[in-house]
Structure 1
Amino acid sequence: MNIVESLPEDWREALLIGRVAGSDGPIPILVRNGRVLDVSARAPTTAEALARDDLATMDGVDLGAIDTLTFRTDWSEEEGFHLLSPLDLQCIKASGVTFAVSALERVIEERARGDAEAANLIREGLKARIGGDLKDLRPGSEQAEAVKATLIADGLWSQYLEVAIGPYAEIFTKAPVMASVGWGAAVGVRADSAWNNPEPEVVVICDPRGRAVGAALGNDVNLRDIEGRSALLLGKAKDNNASAAIGPFIRLFDAGFGMDDVRRAKVKLVVEGEDGFRLEGESSMSLISRDPEDLIAQTLSGHQYPDGFALYLGTMFAPVEDRDAPGKGFTHKLGDRVRVSSERLGVLDNIVTTCDRAAPWTMGVGELMRNLAARGLLGVPA
């Protein structure tokens, strides 16, 4: 495939970093002014590259203009570069229930039992008690505590609302180091899950000092049936083979792109099934209840990340459209093509399979270190 179709709309001005599979091992690449540079001799991992202050001007071996190169996917027999996840040594974290409005709306809908007029009465009652619109509710604030007290009194409180409007965000480990997959890869759902869905998100990437240095698109593949049984099953619902997708590249923050662009981003989702089913959705980052910088700070609270970390920021998208029988909602089928997109970040393109059929995770940190040592890339000069 021509990767340009999956690049940011302003890709000629964007500074991007990613990884490709070389004949001897993974290669960090920098895309600058539309040229693809192999920077492995200067920084053998993207984690090291992102920790460097000179990344934007780093030199490397020119592999060609990106709009002339071919990149292959798991569902195509084309030859070309195999684009990996842009993450290697970074910890992979995620935040959940970061859109308080959607969490509150779910509670309101459940209480109203499908009655729109009743739902509006509950909504207006909450607005009157907090003295403002629900979309302006700030987690951990006095207004949020008032809503919490009201919901508890009405028997509507839940552990999900605690992290939606309480002082502490839900921050969890999405996948082990080195276990994420990239653009063009198959993403996995457990074969024993009957209700699952994609979660289109923006992912911020931080360096070892905790500074946000870039952003990418992510798919936080979720098993709704397993998580729904108990919050204690979150690990089984979230952390599975090929269940954390990120890409196509990390877009680095610079004068033309920064955190405010993340805050304004609109993340779109398209799912196309081999059965002709099509699902579309959109999530606006402007509606997030916790600022990305707050989520970063909470991730750093009580912990250090010497190789940096990636943080999925959450989604407000929860597909409810029936796919098969009425009332059964949406769930993935084998062969679904999932595209997560945003104008300034590009398109993350994946196909759905089961975890046992997806490519096994075989290169861990130990194998990567042995590979880099054999290639003479450890201890490279700064």
Structure 2
Amino acid sequence: MNPLSLTDSLPHDLDNALLVGRVWLEGANPGPALVTVHDGKVIDLTAFGPTMADLLERDDLIDVVRRGEGANLGSVESLVANSQISPPQAPYLLAPCDVQAVKACGVTFAVSLLERVIEEQAGGDPAKAVELRDDLQALIGTDLSKIKPGSDEAMSLKKALQARGGWSQYMEVGIGPDAEVFTKAQPLSSVGFGTT
């Protein structure tokens, strides 16, 4: 494996970026520590929260990350290099998430949304899929992508689809009032820097 350079590992606007992470420390109290980067130096922020989940919940998070004081753990270059040695040499990077689940939010595109509903209801029958596609398009009467999620028009469409037995959980993602939130990984399941 080719080692990752600092340029490959960190944002190009490092001098202006607000970064938080977790590292493994050795010493009298070995274990994970919360860190940020100030002027190319890795700063221990563990005094501001025992876990990343706690740190991210702080009302003063931005101020803590910008101005929080803690032990200087060395240069960010050394941290990146230490993290790529096998076995890694402390301090080294850990996965940034700890006790929180990894989440992502998204919106499903209208065409994909319709095809999911058709696939779900057709059960693999191509003729049924054509019939459902025509029925849905006739019912919608407009391009689904033009319907604003959560609007009165969207809620009317939802009621009409429910009345016909054509409603699906997938439709909620595209025309309901809330974005879809996906759980991508469970707590403590994230992998660390450079993991292959």
Match of 2:19 in 1: 16
Alpha carbons of structure 1 residues 172 and 44: separation in structure 2 relative to 1, 3 Å: same
Alpha carbons of structure 1 residues 108 and 48: separation in structure 2 relative to 1, 3 Å: closer
Give yes or no for the alignment of 1:125 onto 2:128: no
How many Å separate the matches in 2 of 1:144 and 1:116?
Answer: 23
> Could you say which structure has the larger radius of gyration?
2
TM-score, normalization: structure 1? 0.37
1:104 Cα deviation from its structure 2 partner: 2.8
Q: How many residues align?
A: 180
Give yes or no for the alignment of 1:2 onto 2:12: no
Choose the corresponding residue for 2:83, options 58, 72, 89. Answer: 72
How many Å separate the matches in 1 of 2:153 and 2:175?
Answer: 9
Runs (5+) with no aligned partner, structure 2:
none
Alpha carbons of structure 1 residues 93 and 140: separation in structure 2 relative to 1, 3 Å: farther
How many Å separate the matches in 1 of 2:113 and 2:34?
Answer: 39
Aligned residues of 1:28 and 1:38 also touching (Cα < 8 A)? yes
Aligned residues of 1:37 and 1:63 also touching (Cα < 8 A)? yes
Return the letter of the residue paired with 2:148.
R
Aligned residues of 1:38 and 1:62 also touching (Cα < 8 A)? yes
TM-score, normalization: structure 2? 0.64
RMSD (CA atoms) = 4.1
Aligned residues of 2:140 and 2:157 also touching (Cα < 8 A)? no
Runs (5+) with no aligned partner, structure 1:
185-348, 352-382
Give yes or no for the alignment of 1:144 onto 2:157: no
Match of 2:190 in 1: 181
Return the letter of the residue paired with 2:149.
P
The structure richer in helix per residue is 2
- Matching of residues 295-314 of structure 1 within 5 Å: none
1:26 Cα deviation from its structure 2 partner: 0.8
Aligned residues of 1:97 and 1:160 also touching (Cα < 8 A)? no
How many Å separate the matches in 2 of 1:114 and 1:78?
Answer: 58
Match of 2:126 in 1: 113
Aligned residues of 1:16 and 1:32 also touching (Cα < 8 A)? no
Aligned residues of 2:117 and 2:170 also touching (Cα < 8 A)? no
Aligned sequence identity (%): 37
Aligned residues of 1:140 and 1:166 also touching (Cα < 8 A)? yes
Match of 1:29 in 2: 35
1:350 Cα deviation from its structure 2 partner: 5.1
Aligned residues of 2:118 and 2:129 also touching (Cα < 8 A)? no
Aligned residues of 1:16 and 1:31 also touching (Cα < 8 A)? yes
Aligned residues of 1:28 and 1:40 also touching (Cα < 8 A)? yes
The structure richer in strand per residue is 1
